[in-house]
Structure 1
């Protein structure tokens, strides 16, 4: 759309009388600044409360559980801090108290998610370690089971069953604990050469059994596969157990000879 028609409208226009023009006092040049968001600078608040996050993380780690590293609790607290900063304007002067509750709650929730023991077991574990600390401080050396049982007011058997085994299960990364030379990671499966040798011997044995006379092959089959005793085999063949023993011995001799040639 062209602006020429609009210019023609104001061609004969006259200035307005001075009495009709309002007087606006000049207070300085107009400037523009970024509006301050409610709750202040988020980054400044985060930097301000970082020490609080670490302090609460160490407190939770020391007083409640060691199944989660303190640095992991710090990371959880940082996430909770960033989320809580958005509520700073609404909380006003109560923000610090609100933040403490938020941080501690987030860390405890994480501990509960990763807990592998019951609350009772966690309580017994705390009592157990507290008793060790107390007795060590008083005696100057680590206490024995009898002293610990007396301190906790339980029997030695209950101490072993409910207190000493109350530690939580801790899961470690396989990459951190695995090593080829550790015995519990060793594989007892025969290597390829052993498997090949066993396969050759098995094939030789199968062929040798197949070459036995029918009665000798049947005795081997009934004795080793069907797991019949000599008397039961005799009943199948219609002979006495002594005769069965002779047949089995003859079969063994032929099989040993065939395997000796292979070895």
Structure 2
């Protein structure tokens, strides 16, 4: 039950939505936003890995609240989709788009890593094989410590980590108890988990191996490079490519849900 300041009476959630749907009253809308603001906080915390190094959590929450306001205004109560499910997808998408637009990855990180990739390509052509890390560093007249630092920085700049992708498909018990307590939401979450697993299985062999060694076996970048007999830089490239493919499949699935709800 929800206590409204305007009418000083208790009304249930359905009636609150019906009143807003009929009147578009701003104060009723604000009550709905306040009720569901916890979704923004949960999603902001789940995605903290993509902004915590450069961005401020308050900015992320504010962006999420703006998205929540838009969702409340556009939500169609005649549809069968639970509001929490619909809102969570839209809020997450809005935050990720916001982070992408900020381009928080320092230009120097991008520039330095591009120099390494260019050097690696040139050496591959001249040597007829993938160069070793020390060969790339020597070609660039770069200290190995600096070389490894650049590669490690680039390795951590993927917009979503695998843990966060997993988080999309596996809610904690707390989250389940707060807003995902109906069978239909559990079915959707299981389907999302299946999409992620299928996406991993569709990756190339080296991409699957890098993902497995890094996230399942908890190996370091250099250890993976030694096992695969490739450079650290190449491992970083494979890792980034794999995460981008997984992220695209997850986002495509979630966008499909939104489009179906509009019909």
Q: Which has the larger radius of gyration?
A: 1
| TM-score interval for Structure 1 and Structure 2 normalised by the shorter chain | 0.3 to 0.5
TM-score normalised over the length of structure 1: 0.35
TM-score normalised over the length of structure 2: 0.35
* Structure holding more helix per residue: 2
